[in-house]
Amino acid sequence: MVIVMKPRVSKEEVRIIKAIIEAKGLEVNLSKGNTYYIIGIIGDTSIIDPNKLQALKGVERVMKVQEPFKKANRLFKPEDTVINVQDSIIGGGKLGIMAGPCSVESEEQIVEIAKRVKAAGANFLRGGAFKPRTSPYSFQGLELEGLKLLKIAKQETGLPIVTELMSTDYIDTFVDEVDVIQIGARNMQNFDLLKQVGNTNKPVLLKRGLSATIEEWLMSAEYIMAGGNENVVLCERGVRTFETMTRNTLDLQAVPVIKKLSHLPIIIDPSHAGGDAYLVEPMAKAAIMAGADGLMIEVHNDPENALSDGQQSLTPDKFEVLMNKIKFLAEIVDKEI
């Protein structure tokens, strides 16, 4: 349930309503804009009589919220959430461009790629240190050594680091050493992991599960936000369908749907969606035109010999060509990097 207060309502009127709701054992989520106050109610709202709330001083309107996600719901917070990571910004008209290799492989590799993607216009460096691989016999990532190398690449370029956390065992290390914690598609419903990152204040990049509905995805965001961490960025990376010509099917409709339902920023990962480098440019361009707040793109300096996902990785040269087109398209949709 959401209470929209009248314009220019007093703080005291808001405080009284908050106290009434909290006295019933429910949680209040306050959202304040320039000209409005919205009081979101979280918990079993069946014990509340909306007509009684409607009669209170300062109340403009009481609305039932049908969706099970609350803090992630646009009804609770009408304006877009903007995530600022050391001046790299995602949302509110700014594009977050996360680029880098699937896996961190060596210092030379990650530093060179970081320099190239930065020069082309990326504002985040991605790179997997802990890798969720389908086969236990595939390269599993450099793990803690990989984090160290990402930090060296950050020192060299200033780019904030985005990397995947797979186990709650490393939560403290990630909070200390990483700028954006990625929760991968395979862990979208690892509720322990979601709760733990929810207890931090690190920005979280939450990828959509391989076959998750948009509602399930937003409920996972809700897990993180329920713990108090509202710095969530959603990432659509393709879902599993009957189609086999592409690795996954990119759900671009998720962009306007998320924009309607939620205030959280959403970026698109065309690399894991298509699974092939030739699909990256058209889908990246389409994502920007659809209203995405950014992109995650795999870039490798030697795709043929990459230890993971080489077939879908762009070379730094191709990434630069793509970025020049993205910068042009960004202007058309009134956005900037």
Rounded alpha-carbon distances, angstroms, from residue 31 to 6, 12, 36, 53: 13, 15, 8, 18
CB 327, CB 295: distance < 8 Å: no
How is residue 128 written in tokens?
């997997």
Per-residue contact flags (x/-) with ligand PEP for residues 100 to 139, judged by CB under 6 A: --x-------------------------x---x-------
Closest CB 96 distance from ligand PEP, rounded Å: 14
- Provide, rounded to whole angstroms, the least separation between the CB of residue 206 and Mn ion: 16
For Mn ion, the binding residues in 81-120 under the rule CB under 5 A are 102
Give min distance, CB of 212 to ligand PEP, in A.
Answer: 11
Q: Residue 294 interacts with ligand PEP (CB under 6 A)? A: no
Given the rule CB under 6 A, which of 60-68, 93-101, 115-123, 182-190 is the region that contacts ligand PEP?
182-190
What tokens does 60 get? 């403009």
Binding mask 285-324 for Mn ion (x = CB under 5 A): ------------------------x---------------
In degrees, rounded to 5, the angle at the alpha carbon of residue 215 between the alpha carbons of residues 284 and 180 is 55
Give the span between the Cα atoms of 82 and 95, in whole angstroms: 10
State whether the Cα torsion 119-201-223-257 is positive or negative: negative
The footprint of ligand PEP on this chain (CB under 6 A) covers a number of residues equal to: 9
> Which residue has the CB atom at the shortest distance from ligand PEP?
184
Residue 48 CA to residue 169 CA, distance in Å, equals 41
Residue list 202-261, contact with ligand PEP (CB under 6 A) = 207, 237
CA dist., res. 158 & res. 164, Å (int) = 19
Give the H or E element holding residue 247: none
What is the arrangement of strands in the sheet containing 2-5, beginning at the earlier edge strand? 27-32, 37-42, 2-5, 59-63
In this complex, which beta carbon is closest to Mn ion, that of residue 29 or of residue 249? Answer: 249
x/- binding map, residues 134-153, to Mn ion, per CB under 5 A? --------------------
Q: Which of 185, 194, 268, 306 binds ligand PEP (CB under 6 A)?
A: 185
Beta-bridge partner residues of 207: 235
Q: Which of residues 28-67 bind ligand PEP (CB under 6 A)?
A: none
Residues that bind Mn ion (CB under 5 A): 102, 309
Residues that bind ligand PEP (CB under 6 A): 102, 128, 132, 184-186, 207, 237, 272
